[in-house]
């Protein structure tokens, strides 16, 4: 099967570059993987980013809305819910402004890098693609 993911490591966080969101969604579907998408174009602050991810990923209502809670929400409870086939995550238009500066962007991506490591330890593909606005 031809898939845009054929040359992408199974546990990675990388720029979306030439990939199209729809192609990634179709590849996830073909592989039977979960597809998580967040369009952050209207986010300005860390709280906006966390709120939008929580809403668009349909995280539990008790989600703590901080980076630690985000990591927890995309790892342990999901792992405990049973075997997982894999994940394709797209974070589109991560803000690049004074309220969400380079340090905040790196912290956000580090959460997803840590999640990729978490899932790699469990032999579950977890691919994250991102873009900045």
Task: Note the pLDDT tens digit of each residue in 111-125.
Answer: 999 999 999 999 999
Whole-number pLDDT of residue 65: 83
Q: What is residue 5's three-state secondary structure?
A: coil
Query: 11-132: which CATH number, 3.30.370.10, 3.40.50.12780, 3.30.70.140, 1.10.10.10?
Result: 3.30.370.10
CA distances from 129 to 46, 64, 90 (A): 19, 24, 5
Domain ranges of the chain: 11-132
- Which residue, among 25, 30, 20, 36, has the nearest Cα to 115 in the 3D structure? 36
The pLDDT score that the predictor gives to residue 30 is 94
Instruction: Report the distance separating Cα 73 and Cα 57, nearest Å.
Output: 10
């Amino acid at each position: 099967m031809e898939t845009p993911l054929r040359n992408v490591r199974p546990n990675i966080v990388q720029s979306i570059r030439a990939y199209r969101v729809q192609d990634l969604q179709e590849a996830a579907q073909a592989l039977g993987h979960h597809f998580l998408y967040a369009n952050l174009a209207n986010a300005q602050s860390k709280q906006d980013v966390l709120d939008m991810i929580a809403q668009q990923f349909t995280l539990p209502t008790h989600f703590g809305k901080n980076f630690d809670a985000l990591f927890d929400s995309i790892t342990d409870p999901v792992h405990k819910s049973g075997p997982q086939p894999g994940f394709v995550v797209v974070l589109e238009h991560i803000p690049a402004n004074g309220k969400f500066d380079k340090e905040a962007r790196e912290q956000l991506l580090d959460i997803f890098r840590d999640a990729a490591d978490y899932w790699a330890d469990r032999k579950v593909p977890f691919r994250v693609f991102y873009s900045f606005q």
